[in-house]
Amino acid sequence: MFPRKVSIHREGHKIIIVAGIILLLINLPLAIILHSGVISVIVALISTVVILAFTSFFRIPNRDFHLDNNKIIAPADGKVVVIEQVEENEYFKDKRIQVSIFMSPANVHVNRSPVSGLVKYQKYHPGKYLVAWHPKSSEKNERNTVVIENEGGVEILIRQIAGKLARKIRFYVEEGDKIIQTNEFGFIKFGSRVDMFLPIGTTIDVDLKQKVKGGVTVIGTLQEKE
């Protein structure tokens, strides 16, 4: 059986092309000067690994998405590193269930909407670059916050967080936009972390340290708003 089609995200096109040109400019002179020398072969192998790594960083695997607005779908690939009740101070200013997904450089970096609905709030915050698992990274690091209200009137907050390695957050929605569950709302270059803040009473369907797939894994089930 052949693997499903994998495409390259538009955020990676320029980086891959520039990296390819730079590596070509390094490899061609070495190949001409050293011919089949060991050094030129080693550099060529390293260059190949670098290009393959960049290509992997920006891959978009073809996946089957199933919409269900009573479910909260994972906004990112990675590992669940936080499930706890916390005070959310930027938008809700009350207690919520926080579920955080850590994205390593090996994960797919596309961020997908966990629900369908209306973007009620969006704000980008410049900030620090603490390691993504630092307790204060959700409040101190460069980040982008999006709140989506589903058709039942339930609001979900998603926060993209940059870390030590990831220093570029992209977001494609703003207040007033409508978005469909599993559609792209952003991208974090080279990984980091995505936090979700869910209503108290939400049934959480994942466990700590569980690996999840963006747009596929069910994170939780919403209670209907009274």
Active site residues: 192
Rounded CA-CA distance 71/198 in Å is: 11
Helix (H, G, I), strand (E, B) or coil at 54: helix
Between the alpha carbon of residue 49 and those of residues 8, 42, 55, 107, the distances in Å are 17, 11, 10, 17
Q: Assess contact for 219 and 212: CB atoms under 8 A.
A: yes
| 25 CB neighbour count, 10 Å cutoff | 9
Collapsed DSSP state (helix, strand, coil) of residue 93: coil
Terminal Cα distance for the chain, rounded = 48
Which residues lie across from 98 on neighbouring strands? Answer: 84, 197
3-class secondary structure, 143: strand
Residue 23's H or E segment, with its range, is helix 10-34
Please, what sign has the CA dihedral across residues 219, 156, 61, 83?
A: negative
Nearest-CA neighbor of 83 among 74, 93, 91, 92? 74
